[in-house]
Each structure stands twice: as structure tokens, then as C-alpha cells.
Amino acid sequence: MYSSKLNLMETERAIKFLKAAFEDELSKALNLTRISAPLFVPKSSGLNDNLNGVERPVSFDVKATGEEVEVVHSLAKWKRYALAKYGFSRYSGLYTDMNAIRRDEDMDALHSIYVDQWDWEVVIGRDDRTPDYLKSTVNKIYGAIRTTAEKVRGEYPVLENRLPEEITFITAQQLEDMYPALSPKQRETQFVKKHGAAFVMGIGAPLKSGKKHDGRAPDYDDWSLNGDIILYYPLLDCAFEVSSMGIRVDRESLLSQLKAENCEDRLALPFHRALFNGELPLTMGGGIGQSRLSMFILEKMHIGEVQVSVWDEKTYAYCKENNIQLM
């Protein structure tokens, strides 16, 4: 029977310590400054993240303006505006505490309708838009995760989860070639179970099979220069995604990906016009799940042990049966 290694109060204190430690490590590794971020954005701006293109945002009208606004899914596009607004220079950037509601999320041990993550974005140059630069940044982020985990274990020695010294890189196409009979998530689990930590590159475009490894909106990541940081989680025996990130679209990849997804009408939106006209910097960025990272490092069986959300009856029954105390 599962038994949490930290009680409820210890968990709250450990989350506070973990978040402070990781923010410090991440900001030092990537030269980031914390800035304030919106909870909602105007629907007409085109700034909200469309995720896989089918999720419905929470929206409401504002009495004072009559304008319809949407609670953010993520800040992937907003951050490029912010980098320009604040005047960040090359190899410097921002991070935020991003809080979102994803109403169409399927609930399970790893997924909640409430999303909290560190959203970060860095200004880069055109010659940085390469797989090597992407990999070097992934290594820095992975280093920040490992150092944070070690600091937390120093405070709470009862925790035992260990990460390998290095993260392994593989493309989504290579995974499909290795495990053609498995689903994308099953491929990730098989691979990361052997390696402990992996970065799966090239997510969004169809693979040789004609199927996508996973969906990505066409207007923020360049699908050839992005990926997910995946860790192996022994407690649930599964691939555990802690971050989605990538080098962002430039004018050419934006046009190509919008065309591929039949979304060329988005070019009329303010964000897309600004990007098309060269008014926004070239960037790379991503999101790192705060509850996900807390769940992993604190060795919890359910994400509801490290965040407050609402759950369905199936979840409540599962948690009761498995001795899981939800917040």
C-alpha cells in the first residue's frame, strides 16, 4: 500500500523550498528575470495558446469594456511580446509564474484542469536556431532539475528518487522506428525506462507513419526544433513529462506550419501580424510544470497531493482506495 513519505504540512513546506530552489537554479542557468504575467488575455489578440487546437478556453466578457477575454492555456506567445516590451537583449530572458485552467483536460494521476508552471523565454539570434543550441539549453534545464532534487533530498533525506547524470536525446521519428507497434506514450515509457531521462525532439509534424507523436499548435514552437523533457517515474512505472519547450517559429516556419494545419487565417491576428512583420525577437522558450516537478521530486502518487484542484468521483474513489491524501 502506498504511503506518502511526507505528511501534508511537510509537503507544503517542501513545495515552498523546492520552488524557491528551482527558480534560483533556472534563472541562473538561463539568465532569466522574473516578471508579472496575465491570467487572461483578450480573445481578439491571438495571444492564447491553442494547445492541440481542440481545447476550449475558459472565457468571459468584461463589464467595463464589453470585450471577451480568455483565461490563458499557457503564455507561449505572450512572452515574445513581453521580451520586446521589456527590451531584453540576446541570451537574456524572463520567467513567470503561470497559472492556467484547461477545462478539457482528462483527469488522471498526472493531469489536472489547473496548470501551474514556470513559463520562460529567452532572446536568441538567427544562428542559434539549431538542434545543438536546443540541446545545450535542455542540458542546462536538466542540470537545474537535478540540483534542485539534490537540495530537496538534503532537507528531506527520506526521499530516494535519483536522476541520471545526463539526459539522453532522441527524436520522435527514431522512437517510432524503434517501437512501431507501440503508441507514442508507450514508446516514451519504454525508452525512458532504460535511460532514466530523455528529451524527445521534433514534435508536431506527422511522422513517416502519417501520425503525429503529439499535437502542437502551429504558431509558437518550430516543430523541427522542439521537444519534451521526459523522466522515468518508478512509482507509476511511466514516462513523466516535466517540460515542453522549443525554439520558436520565425516567419518562414510560421507560414509553413499554419499552412499545414489550415490555419492561415490566424495571420490576421495582431500577434501573428507582428511576428510576420519582424516586430518580435527570435526566441526559444517553454514551460516547466510546478506541480509535476513537485510530484516527481517529493515522490507523490497523484498530482492532487501537491496542488489544490477539483476532481471527479472516479479520482476521489481511486485516491481513497490507494491511501492518497488530496490537498
Angle at 191 between CA 233 and CA 50, to 5 degrees: 75
Q: So what's the pLDDT on residue 51?
A: 67
- Out of 23, 188, 221, 241, pick the active-site residue: 241
Specify whether 244 is catalytic: yes
What is the residue whose three cell numbers read 515574445? 80
Q: Are 79 and 119 in contact (CB under 8 A)?
A: yes
Fold adopted by 8-163+249-321: BirA Bifunctional Protein; domain 2 (3.30.930)
- Tell me how far CA of residue 226 lies from CA of 38, 100, 147, 201, 249, in angstroms: 24, 22, 24, 6, 10
Spatial distance between the Cα atoms of 132 and 141, rounded to a whole number of angstroms? 14
E-assigned strand segments in the chain = 32-34, 40-42, 59-61, 68-71, 93-101, 114-123, 168-171, 197-201, 221-233, 238-248, 283-289
Specify whether 12 is catalytic: no
- Out of 80, 102, 129, 292, pick the active-site residue: 102
Spatial distance between the Cα atoms of 287 and 188, rounded to a whole number of angstroms? 19
Specify whether 49 is catalytic: yes
Q: So what's the pLDDT on residue 52?
A: 62
Residues whose CB is less than 8 angstroms from the CB of residue 93 and which lie 6 or more positions away in sequence, other chains included: 30, 31, 32, 33, 83, 120, 121, 122, 123, 283, 285
Q: Are 243 and 251 in contact (CB under 8 A)?
A: no
- Out of 112, 243, 244, 307, pick the active-site residue: 244
Spatial distance between the Cα atoms of 19 and 293, rounded to a whole number of angstroms? 9
Lookup: cell for 269? 491576428
Q: Are 239 and 185 in contact (CB under 8 A)?
A: yes
Q: Where are the alpha helices (DSSP H) in 31-94?
A: 78-86
- Out of 228, 261, 299, 305, pick the active-site residue: 228
Amino acid present at 262: N
The domain segmentation of the chain, as residue ranges, is 8-163+249-321
Q: So what's the pLDDT on residue 258?
A: 95
DSSP per-residue letters across 87-105: TPPTT-EEEEEEEEE-TTP
Q: Where does residue 99 fall: left (phi above 0), alpha (psi -120 to 50 degrees), or beta otherwise?
A: beta
- Using only C-alpha atoms, the chain has a radius of gyration, in whole angstroms, of 20
Specify whether 102 is catalytic: yes
Residues whose CB is less than 8 angstroms from the CB of residue 258 and which lie 6 or more positions away in sequence, other chains included: 218, 219, 264, 266, 267, 272
Q: So what's the pLDDT on residue 300?
A: 97
Angle at 152 between CA 146 and CA 158, to 5 degrees: 115
Q: What is the pTM of this model?
A: 0.94
Specify whether 90 is catalytic: no
- Out of 112, 117, 253, 309, pick the active-site residue: 117
Specify whether 117 is catalytic: yes
- Out of 23, 25, 27, 49, pick the active-site residue: 49
What is the chain's pLDDT, residue by residue, as a tens digit (327 residues)? 899 999 999 999 999 999 999 999 999 999 999 999 999 999 888 788 766 667 788 999 999 999 999 998 888 889 998 999 999 999 999 999 999 999 998 899 999 999 999 999 999 999 999 999 999 999 999 999 999 999 999 999 999 878 999 999 999 999 999 999 999 999 999 999 999 999 999 999 999 999 999 988 899 899 999 999 999 999 999 999 999 999 999 999 999 999 999 999 999 988 899 999 999 999 999 999 999 999 999 999 999 999 999 999 999 999 999 999 999
What is the residue whose three cell numbers read 490507494? 322
